[in-house]
Amino acid sequence: MSSYETVAKLMTAMSANFVNYKLTKEAVVFNASILSDIPDDVLEAATVHICSKPGAFFPSVGDWRKIALDIMLNKAGIPSEYQAWEELISMIGKGPSRRLTGEKDDDGKWIVEDIPDRIWKNKIAERVAEQLGWPEFPDLNNLSYERHAFMEAYRIQCQRIDEDIRTLPGVKKVEQQYVESSIKQLTEGMSK
């Protein structure tokens, strides 16, 4: 994760590229706190990306963070909605099979081992398919509707993952405190 020293070095380099920007220690401290959860190599790549583009103004820390996270998420290689649907369709009829291991358990019964014929490559698609009722989903008689439902659920799941990754750890902590407080208030209100 990025350190104060890395952020200071990169901000110094960027300030040479944006001559109207006056670098201050306060700005470095502030930026370092917001960028602390981003790995150094990703932050450096984002800095190179920023400096390689035309621009008259020094980027905000939010813009810098966004570019760094975009780089990280592109590395993840999350398949598109269509690619996820294609994987789902390719999984139809390819459930697990079983085989005898040739060994017996303590009770003298043959040990049967489950062997998956196919393993999901896209874990997000697998999770969404299971939430929609896999392996009974999709209904082959309603593929148009099922495709729409799957793609919408997949898109929402990807958005949630993206939002979770982009949310600062400190913000998540505060959000969680308020969620817990709200749930407590709701349950107390329901018991009255």
**pLDDT tens per residue, range 62-71:** 999 999 999 9
More confident residue, 99 or 44: 44
Task: With H, G, I as helix, E, B as strand and everything else as coil, classify residue 99.
Answer: strand
Residues in the chain: 192
**pLDDT tens per residue, range 105-135:** 898 888 877 766 668 899 999 999 999 998 8
> Distances from the Cα of 171 to the Cαs of 14, 96, 153, 174, in angstroms?
27, 42, 26, 5
More confident residue, 30 or 185: 30
Q: Is the peptide bond before 138 cis (omega within 30 degrees of 0)?
A: yes
Category of 2 on φ-ψ map: left (φ > 0), alpha (ψ -120 to 50) or beta: beta
Residue 38 has pLDDT above 90, yes or no: yes
- Please state the pTM of the whole predicted model: 0.67
